[in-house]
Structure 1
């Protein structure tokens, strides 16, 4: 895989998908349907998926592609693949809250090594460069030429005053009980894969997720956090969260700065 080409393509497709999503987001009305698991899907999800999938298949025809909106892609048994969530945070999109993202990543041998997370309503874009280091690009965004780039690095946390981020739509008592094991200075909520990016920028130290997620929800954010020096581990045994699992389903996990003293669940 040519990482330089990959990063250029992923970045451009994320921006193009973001434009399509915002066109629908800013319209007077849009259709919301329910998938088989009762989760919502909109025309924005489907339009962004079609755009990104076509672009990736054209650029990387020999690399398997897994995408949330194409159920037939979920039966693959692969360890190296491209993985896409064209609109992560559909509930935030439907409620017009802005905390939604476009996510594209490359997984190699079970590890997310390159990724882009773009939040079009917030004007924030995070990605790994060709060397695997993570950056945040400042808009306005040009699809061909990157703008100002800020290198990302996780925090040096104070374990007596941690900054925690948790899910906006899926926070529950079990999550709060786990967070309460730590000395917390501030706790905030955020939607979609932005939570990984807040840890990558040092805006948060710790993001525990005690709920169902799929690999397309996490791979791009995980890659960005890896490239900023962070880690993502399973909640149960604190081993690295791996990809290419059965049906691409994740266990509970913790994303964090390595200097956080992790507590047992």
Structure 2
């Protein structure tokens, strides 16, 4: 994959999809349907998916493409592919809470190596450059003209006073029990893949996820965090989180800055 060709494309498509999402978000009303797994889907999910998948297939026709909203893509097998969640945080979108993102990532040999996370309602965008390092672009965002970017880096964590970020919609007792093993200065909640980005910028030190996620939920955030010096490991044995699993379902995991002294599950 030519990274210097990939990055402008995924950045542009994320912004174009984000613009369409915000058009629907700011409308008076939008329909909410239920998928076969009882998760919600809106016109914004479907419109954003159409924009991104068409753009990726035109630019990289030889690459395998897995996207949440196209069930037939979930049977694609391989350890190198593009993976998309066109609207991560649909519940946040439905309740107009703003914590939703557009996620596009490249997975190579089971590892997310490049990606973009765009939060249009929050006006924040994070992506990896061709060299694999991560930047945050400053808005306003123009799909055709990149703006000013700033490199981001994980925190130099103080294990006596950690900042924790956890799920806004899926926080439970198991998560709180695990967080309780650490010396926590403060904690915050965030929706969607923004949690990875808050660790990547140093706004948080650790994000534990004790709950179901799919690879399209996490790949772009994982790439962004890795490019900022962070890590993502399995919750149970702290081995690296690998992609291209048969059902694209993730085990529980921990995203963190390397200075954090991880506790046993």
Q: Tell me which interval the TM-score lies in, with the shorter structure as reference length.
A: over 0.9
Shift of 1:200: 0.1
1:224-259 CA-partner distances (Å, limit 9, x unpaired): 000000000000000000000011000000000001
Q: Residues 64-143 of structure 1: matches in 2 within 5 Å? A: 64-143=64-143
Q: Aligned residue for 2:180?
A: 180
- When normalised by structure 1's length, the TM-score is 0.99
* SS of aligned partner of 1:141: coil
Give me the whole-angstrom Cα distance separating, in 2, the residues matched to 1:155 and 1:72. 40
Shift of 1:2: 1.0
List gaps (5 residues or longer) in structure 1: none
* SS of aligned partner of 2:61: coil
Shift of 1:187: 0.5
Shift of 1:56: 0.1
1:202-243 CA-partner distances (Å, limit 9, x unpaired): 000000000000000000000000000000000000000000
Give me the whole-angstrom Cα distance separating, in 2, the residues matched to 1:4 and 1:88. 26
Q: Aligned residue for 1:254?
A: 254
* SS of aligned partner of 1:223: helix
CA-atom RMSD in angstroms: 0.4
Q: Residues 192-211 of structure 1: matches in 2 within 5 Å? A: 192-211=192-211
Give me the whole-angstrom Cα distance separating, in 2, the residues matched to 1:143 and 1:182. 41
List gaps (5 residues or longer) in structure 2: none
Give me the whole-angstrom Cα distance separating, in 1, the residues matched to 2:143 and 2:16. 8
Structure 1 ranges of 4+ moved more than 6 A: none
- When normalised by structure 2's length, the TM-score is 0.99
* SS of aligned partner of 2:207: strand
Give me the whole-angstrom Cα distance separating, in 2, the residues matched to 1:76 and 1:189. 34
Give me the whole-angstrom Cα distance separating, in 2, the residues matched to 1:170 and 1:159. 25
